[in-house]
Amino acid sequence: MDKVVGVVGGGRMGGGIAQGLLGTGAQVHVVEAGDEAAQAAHDRIVAGLEESARRGKLEGSVADSAARLTMVDTPGELPAGCELVVEAVPEIPALKVEVLRAVEGVLGPDAVLATNTSSLSVTELAAALDRPARFVGMHFFNPVPASKLVEVVVAAETADDVVETARAWVDRLGKTGIVVRDSPGFASSRLGVLLGLEAIRMLEEGVADAEAIDTAMELGYRHPMGPLRSTDLVGLDVRLAVADYLTSTLGDRFTPPQLLRDKVAAGDLGRKTGRGFHDYG
C-alpha cells in the first residue's frame, strides 16, 4: 500500500518537495487554497515530473506519478492517515504556527509533522503545538529536485524516532540528510548567508563585479554556484529576511549591506523577477 503524505504550500519549495515525494511512490496531498493557485501548483508539479522524466530520473511514468497527486484546499482536508506532512509556507512565524496547528489537529498521534524553514527556530514553532515531540525541521534546498542536501533540524523536544523517520524519508528521496541541533541559521544558512553577504559587500565596495566574484568561488573554490548567483536563486527578499533574523539572534556580523536592501526595495529579487545581481531576461 502506498504511503500517504502531505505538503502544505504548492509554491516553488512546496511543489519541489511534493514532486520528490511522488517520486518515492507515495500518495501526496498538497494544500493550496483557491482554484487558480491550486491549478498553478498542480501544473508546476507535473511540469517538474516531466522534466525529471526527460532527464531519466523518474521511476515509472509521469501519468502514474501525477495520478497519486491530490490537491486540497485546507489542512483540514488532509487524510488523518498521513505518515508525514511537510509545511512549506513562507517564512512568517505567525503564518507557520497557524498552519502547523491546523495540520496537527487532523493528524494521528504517530504522524510526523515537519517544517521546511531555512532559519526560523524549530523549538519556538514547536512550543505552539500540542505534540512537540512529533515535530521536526526538514530544511530543503532550492531547487528541491536537483539539490542533494536536507538538514534535519532537531528541536528541544523532538523524539528520537521522529528524527529517524525524517532521515528515512530523506533517504527515500535520494538525498543526503545531516542532523543539526536547532540554532539560528542551523548549519547551512549560517554559512551560506555569511558568504553571500560578504560577496554583496565586495560588490558594493567595488572590489570586483558580480561575474568576477562568482567566478572566483566557482573556479577557485569549486563551488557549483557563486554566492551572488546563489542569492539570485534563493531570492534577494528571502536572503534579506534571513539576514535580518540572524542579525537579531546572532549579532551584527549578519547585518545586511545597504545594496541588498536597495535591490529588494527596487523589486530586483533575483531569478523570479528576471534581475538580481545578474540579469535573467
**41-51 pLDDT tens trace:** 999 999 999 99
Picking from 53, 44, 125, 35, the residue whose alpha carbon sits closest to that of residue 87 is 125
Q: Thinking of the domain 188-272, which architecture would CATH place it in?
A: Orthogonal Bundle (1.10)
The boundaries of every CATH 3.40.50.720 domain in the chain are 4-181
| Yes or no: domain 4-181 corresponds to CATH 3.40.50.720 | yes
The boundaries of every CATH 1.10.1040.10 domain in the chain are 188-272
What pLDDT tens digit does each residue of the chain (281 aa) get? 589 999 999 999 999 999 999 999 999 999 999 989 999 999 999 999 999 999 998 988 999 999 999 999 999 999 989 999 999 999 899 999 999 999 999 999 999 999 999 888 999 999 999 999 999 999 999 889 999 999 999 999 999 999 999 999 999 999 999 999 999 888 888 899 999 999 999 999 999 999 999 999 999 999 999 999 999 998 999 999 989 989 999 999 999 999 999 999 999 999 999 999 999 98
What is residue 1's predicted lDDT score, i.e. its pLDDT? 56
What is residue 202's predicted lDDT score, i.e. its pLDDT? 98
**175-225 pLDDT tens trace:** 999 999 999 888 888 899 999 999 999 999 999 999 999 999 999 999 999
What is residue 81's predicted lDDT score, i.e. its pLDDT? 93
What is residue 126's predicted lDDT score, i.e. its pLDDT? 97
What is residue 188's predicted lDDT score, i.e. its pLDDT? 87
Whether the Cβ atoms of residue 17 and residue 172 lie closer than 8 Å to each other: no
What is residue 260's predicted lDDT score, i.e. its pLDDT? 98
